[in-house]
Structure 1
């Protein structure tokens, strides 16, 4: 299999092409997630694209606003991408902007978002440069009146003329897939007020049952053997071929075994088992030098 790994070019506008109903369509896409600090390419695909056989997303429900704590990851007050500094808002209250929406798809599907969750292009989610993570927002297409409620859990798009990057499902709802971009209005939603209008459950019970998924903290380096096997998860991919290619690459770069754990249509590429917690940091350092600085600890059952 050819190796398609390449160095991420800062600021480059990528083009993704796919066949849609027999018609060739091309869209401009942005590299949503921040580039890696290493010299390796984080993603298996060098440019974004439509899914080859997408499911019917016409019935995908809006994200349901609920009160959630701010994510531990992705909410630094200031961060820098490609030489430009962005300031994360302390509160999303009253946020109401008009601008251009783009969308991101197959290249990022199955990879970690900025707050540590796994991006699923078939859910109602989005990326934004400055809104706190997570934030719920209503996005309305100003040209056709279609709207969707999305959960913002990622950073981007890093092009000044873009306001928000939508998931594939959200872009389909707003009918901007083939155009690539669209004029939109983005309105932040107050979850408590929204729940009150819906006559929904109390926010405290909602938070207790639906906390966001976050990376597990690294095991402490105490030098002792652990009772369960330790793995470092590098990526969760939707393609078995891409997972095998990543596994081959890691096996060639590391002295540790690598496995693929398949569940729910995702292929999780994991380094291990590690013999003890003291190996976590050295292996994480090796992965970072290879361009994979988002690896997190899982046990043998995950």
Structure 2
């Protein structure tokens, strides 16, 4: 009997330990900018602003915020002017057709688009296949690749890969070069429509109350955005609108005292 008792006690202690570990680590939420491609890339992990007692994950669209993926931190550039790089290109297709990209668009494998780790959303790139001399033009609307980041520099849509004659091989040695500059970039600031996300709620009424409060405080274009993440619905409160990136950053700093995890997002362009 003593041995049976000791065995049951050991099993009980093990089960209790597993439960406590699940309770401790299961509460953490992660949020990904962009969508995973066929190459296995994963969008950058970023924090989400939330009120006490509320959980949720919601990726900011078109962000210039630094993010960390697989232990590496990436800081998106404010300008693509004069950018040039050589390395490997990969591509992603049917598995992600129709899913959201990092800037909030829906991925269309038949459009001439691409994912890059740090170039601004909307950057136009000339991509040259150095193996066969073929070239194409793409627009950056996603983040990646994160598989083999020391060698791969761009993840192309199926259409772009086909243009370059690399859709069968899967990889190609390429040179990418920016074409022109980002619309609205002045050299020190980026013009456009920007918001500061101050909350993410699982209960819409809570989001509506905060949004109404922000409007009353002078952020008259504050909006509530719905986000569906992993089968759950969240309501994101975005204060604004600010006419430039610098203005939005100043607005974020003004709100930091009350919303310490506030961050800037760019409206759909």
Q: Calculate the TM-score normalised by the size of structure 1.
A: 0.45
Partner of 1:178: 168
For residues 118 and 163 of structure 2, the distance between their equivalents in structure 1, rounded to whole angstroms, comes to: 24
Q: What's 1:142 paired with? A: 130
Q: Which of 147, 151, 166 is 2:139 aligned to?
A: 151
Q: In terms of Rg, which structure is larger?
A: 2
1:209-241: CA deviation from partner (whole Å, max 9, x where unpaired): xxx9x99x88851399xxxxx994638xxxxxx
Q: Report the number of matched residues.
A: 167
For residues 179 and 36 of structure 1, do their structure 2 counterparts lie closer, same or farther at Cα, with a shift above 3 Å needed? Answer: farther
Runs (4+) of structure 1 moved beyond 2 Å? Answer: 32-38, 71-74, 217-220, 230-235
Deviation, 1:85, is: 0.6
| Offset, 1:152 | 0.4
Structure (1 or 2) with the greater helix fraction = 2
- Per-residue deviation at 1:94? 0.8
1:124 aligns with 2:112: yes
Quote how far apart the aligned CAs of 1:131 are.
0.8
State the distance in 1 between where 2:97 and 2:143 align: 15
Judge conservation of contact 1:32–1:165 (CA < 8 Å) in 2: no
Q: Which position in structure 2 is the counterpart of 1:222? A: 209
Per-residue CA deviations over 1:91-147 (Å, capped at 9, x if unaligned) read: 111111111000111222212111111111110000001111120000010111111
The answer as to 2:228 corresponding to 1:234 is yes
What 5-or-longer segments of structure 1 have no aligned partner?
1-7, 9-13, 17-28, 39-70, 193-202, 205-211, 225-229, 236-245, 255-270, 272-278, 282-302
CA-based RMSD:
4.2
Between the aligned partners of 2:37 and 2:140, the Cα distance in structure 1 is 24
Is the CA contact (8 Å cut-off) linking 2:43 and 2:143 kept in structure 1? yes
Structure 1 equivalent of residue 121 of structure 2: 133
Deviation at 1:32, TM superposition (A): 4.6
Question: What residue ranges of structure 2 are gaps of 5+ in the alignment?
Answer: 1-29, 31-35, 49-59, 185-191, 212-223, 237-269
Partners of 2:80 and 2:181 within 8 A in 1: no
* CA distance 1:231–1:80, shift in 2 (3 Å): closer
Distance 1:33 1:231, change over 3 A: closer
